[in-house]
Chain A
């Protein structure tokens, strides 16, 4: 069965520290998509990145970087030199192949990141 696990419930760091958010997923499909979203207190889920199962190239975007490893079913997210504005809940999500899965994301439980000044 499909599942996304974010084992870290809460992480607290001091500004300028690097922080990595872990995500482990389970799926039987060979074609799937992984996402990271950020949810500030306002409630909106802000899209950060999408990866398909055939693209294991890791990506760096400014202070953000992502490490996708199919061998360990992990899709981790790192913030370098964290800032107070990075404080939010971060969600990892999985979208599987198949007509019954369009529009459907399976979310992890989320990791609350608190960055202290």
Chain B
């Protein structure tokens, strides 16, 4: 069974640009969550999508958005990039019931210059 797949793995963007990251969950999983990991703030929850609907959201500005498609694949977008957005962005999938094991992908390393 394939794991959580994220693309691209590495990318460099310039301040002010926008970026879109993609995530394919484990087959059969309907919940996709996104996390940001930085050395200063650690791992922080961005949002969760289930059956194409955002179900939960963390404490991030509106520049961070996401969506989920009917095949459960998800994308997250960050607009007007700031230097502080440089981070590892991790996607996770689960069956969507509270307490289910949440499986993570390898992440997308974003550098904003």
Contact = CB atoms under 8 A, between A and B. Distances in A.
B56 A44 contact: no
Interface in B54-100: 55-56, 58, 88, 90, 92, 94, 96-99
Q: Which size bracket describes the interface of A in this complex?
A: 20 to 34
Interface in B28-51: 31-33, 35, 42-43, 45, 48, 50
A103 B31 contact: yes
Nearest to A6: B42
B55 A102 contact: yes
Contacts, number: 74
Interface stretch (A14-22, A59-67, A77-85, A104-112): A104-112
A6 to B, nearest CB: 10
Contacts of B58: 104
B52 interface: no
Contacts of B105: 44
Contacts of B102: 35, 47, 95, 103, 105
Contacts of B88: 43
B26 to A, nearest CB: 11
Contacts of B90: 43, 45
B18 to A, nearest CB: 22
Interface in A38-58: 42-47, 50, 52
A45 B104 contact: yes
Q: Which of A43, A101, A110 has the most CB of B within 10 A?
A: A43
Interface residues of B, number: 28
Given A43-B106, A43-B107, A102 B96 contact: yes
A30 interface: no
A77 B44 CA distance: 22
Contacts of B103: 47
Interface of B: 31-33, 35, 42-43, 45, 48, 50, 55-56, 58, 88, 90, 92, 94, 96-99, 101-107, 109
Interface of A: 33, 35, 37, 42-47, 50, 52, 91, 95, 97-110
